[in-house]
Amino acid sequence: MDRFVISGGKRLSGSIKADGSKNAGLPIIAGAILISKGEVLLENIPPLRDIFTIKKMLEHLGAKVEYDPKSMKMRIDSSKINEITAPYELMRQMRASFLVLGPLLSRMGEARVSLPGGCVLGTRPVDYHIKGFRAMGAEITEEGGYVIAKAHPLKAATIHFDKPSHTGTENIIFGAVFAKGTTRIVNAACDPEVVDVANFLNAAGAKIKGAGTSTVTIDSVKSLNPVKYKVSGDRLVAGTLMCAAGITGGNLEITGINPSHLTMVSRKLFEMGCEVIEGKNNIEIKGPKKLGPVKVVTFPFPGFPTDLQACIMALATVADGTSSIKETVFEDRFGHTMELRRLGADVTVTSDEAIVRGVPKLKGASVMASDIRAGAGLILACLAAEGSSEILRIYHVDRGYDRLDEKLSALGADIKRMS
């Protein structure tokens, strides 16, 4: 198993382009199941483990998928989809595989989808997805770890989410594209990736309005057309790099992104003393000599992203003062705090809140990534720590960041991948 070895204390500087968004690419690839005639050409698809997993899933279902990691283009021909089972073997690697449920149900009228695996962040149910499809008339049972769904066919409905669910909103949109009538999702997730999914489907002929707001309306259409679509830049990769500039007192320009996807992140980094300049498709960020403390509450978009909670916590560990970081999206997303303590951080967790008392310096140690973003947060902390650190289980990081080690190296970090 690979690990990263980092020698901390180097300032990062330079310009870097964020790849396409994983969390937009995954649902868009799943959504290609809905296009039964002609080809889907996707651009800006990042070469990540999760992308290869969903590619395998589509191939298993009968689609023809060609992907060139160099040009980051993917061609999908879903005309011969003939399988309705999404197997555990592929599902357990990544929770987002559950996104094939909506498209299969919509296109094939039935689906047999294993309950998902992926990052463990407390209990992560899929009840909103199930309730939504039931409201649309699907008959759903659970057997042997599989969700078995039958549409007769799906019909339009108004669906209320208790909380905005990101993939839940996308799955229901997929189910609604051909469901006769007008479907409404109330308390929908407003994330930019949901907007990307709606833009992709609309470019193929769907009639989706309100994506990016809390009410999404889908008027049914009879079929979708072949389409070419470019996925947006990854705001989470960009946010991680912004934090890397902040924690190393560095100076980075991040291109290929929409700064409005990162407003809350920019704001919090500014509060910590970073200089942030937002361009049209880029952000320039300069870290201060000493970071100040911050108060962060994670919240569905446009709030502070839960996926960057570990990263901002890394910055707080070396800030001059006490920070508070409250996690309101997931119930168990503080796995990284124990590892940060191994680096000398002073963090106390009380149920959903971490109190972080900044220390003058972190010290290198061996730490372990427990999920994609926890791993990213630990990398940032190690970039700032005195001496040498190693990060184990970086396969988690590779699920969400393409060659992060090489990219950080090019910006001046001393980071090596060891087998």
Q: Note the residues at the interface with ligand UD1 (CB under 6 A).
A: 23, 26, 95-96, 124-129, 163, 165-168, 189, 193, 306-307, 329-330
- Tell me the closest approach of the beta carbon of residue 200 to ligand UD1, in angstroms: 14
Beta-bridged to residue 297, according to DSSP, are 326
Which residue is listed with tokens 């509450």? 297
In this structure, are residues 88 and 35 in contact, taking their beta carbons and an 8 Å threshold?
A: no
Q: Give how far Cα 295 sits from Cα of 102, 322, 327, 372, Å.
A: 38, 9, 11, 23
The sign of the dihedral angle between the CA atoms of 87, 90, 93, 97 is negative
3-state class of 13 per DSSP?
strand
CA-based angle 247:249:255, to the nearest 5?
85
Query: Distance between CA 349 and CA 371 in Å, rounded?
Result: 18
The CA distance from 217 to 185, in Å, is: 7
Examine residue 302 and say whether the peptide bond preceding it is cis (omega within 30 degrees of 0): yes
Closest CB to ligand UD1 among residues 135, 415: 135
State the DSSP code for 302. T
Chain mean position to CA 33: 21
**Which positions are catalytic?**
119
Helices (H), 83-126: 88-91, 101-108
Nearest-approach distance from CB 269 to ligand UD1, in angstroms: 19
